[in-house]
Structure 1
């Protein structure tokens, strides 16, 4: 009888059976943890998109609606100051954010609607038409319209213009403060001495959160009124806005 070859004598050994119940418990736990991390990442990503993009979309829509309401009322001719929907529009060319409607108060409801607000608390803001005082404003830097997002682009000598129904108020920036405490109410005082001024005048102060994407501190810009111009029939803009 002929001897079998080595290949004939080889016996295939089947692989060991898989553990009952599927994957090893450790592997299953690691897989589950990974899936949870991916889910958490997706949820966090969606929240960031909502906070930094979608809230801007909603706020811009609401701000446009409110702004149109104000301008429609202005079209009716001269009238008393209306603080319900907005008193006027802020123009800061250095921020490249177009016009910003300004209304009364700096609460969440006001600022989240994509506008700026003038302070009523803890310090009462003056209005531009007052003979002296500080027209102190706040707006979001990120989310909800982010109207003051580019406040760091505003430099000494830049123009800040406030438009009302019948008057253009032209201010010139004379000082900035990149970071200060959120509790620093002296920055919005009637005479903001921290900015370098010592006597009553007609000032404007812009405030917002800093650093970007946080609310730990406040960024401040101070300006002083240099002139006013009457609004003509065509609402011709001051030279600083052309």
Structure 2
């Protein structure tokens, strides 16, 4: 009794489907690994680097002694290392080292950066201006991931070598164009303010895991406190 060989076309189709299945499984694994790398491992690496750099800055602060007869300059140790530390209790993200600039090579180190372009941020000790900052919302430390938890009346504290700057949040903008540079203007009129003051602005991407729009939070300086020998934090951070 003779057997009839299966059509060659069926064999080719079965082989193709098998290869396609293997390809899809492999692609899925690669994509999964990429997501893990982007959303978890980059956070691990950035947090390590930021923590080490933050420790170095604090050691520099401890050893900094201004020349006799000259006042302490809060930003003297800025430039390459870091100007200070941002504390936002509502975000529950600990202290965030703040450095100069908002380019990816700065923010990818797990820090926040203050704007130098297209609008130059005023630093906290200046008499008026807007201390405008940016940080990632996902990956690379994701320091502003929980920015949506910050509400009107919440505290935002910036720590330098010798001063605590205590701000109070007064407005937020949940979505605006990434080209909307007016939000970081010296007087951010979109926040409702029309006169010069001492403002702080936090910006990041939105929605989460995209960079299509920007999320903005504004605060205004309410007081400063000198840093004591024990670096006792202000009441808002206790």
Return the match for 1:75 from 62, 70, 81: 62
Q: 1:100 aligns with which of 96, 99, 112?
A: 96
Q: How does 1:138-149 map to 2 (within 5 A)?
A: 138-149=134-145
TM-score (norm 1): 0.91
User: Equivalent of 1:192, from 168, 180, 188?
Assistant: 188
In structure 1, runs of 5+ residues without a counterpart are 1-12
Give 1:197-236 correspondences, 5 Å limit. 197-236=193-232
Partner in structure 1 of residue 175 of structure 2: 179
Asked whether the equivalents of residues 170 and 228 of structure 1 are also in contact (C-alpha less than 8 Å), the reply is yes
SS at match of 1:75: helix
Q: Deviations over 1:11-45 (max 9, x none)?
A: xx686556689x71011111111111111111110
Deviations 1:34-85 (A, max 9, x none): 1111111111101000000000011001101110110000111444412210
Name the TM-score, length of structure 2 as normaliser: 0.93
| Larger CA Rg, structure 1 vs 2 | 1
In the alignment, which of 138, 147, 154 is matched to residue 158 of structure 1? Answer: 154
Determine which of 19, 24, 35 is the counterpart of 2:22: 35
Structure 1 distance, partners of 2:193, 2:81, is 32
Tell me how large the CA RMSD over aligned residues is.
Answer: 1.5
**Which 5+ residue runs of structure 2 have no aligned equivalent?**
67-72
Contact 1:78 1:166 in 2 (8 A): no
Q: Pick from 61, 65, 82: which aligns with 2:52?
A: 65
The 4+ residue runs of structure 1 with deviation greater than 4 A are 13-21
Q: How many residues matched?
A: 229
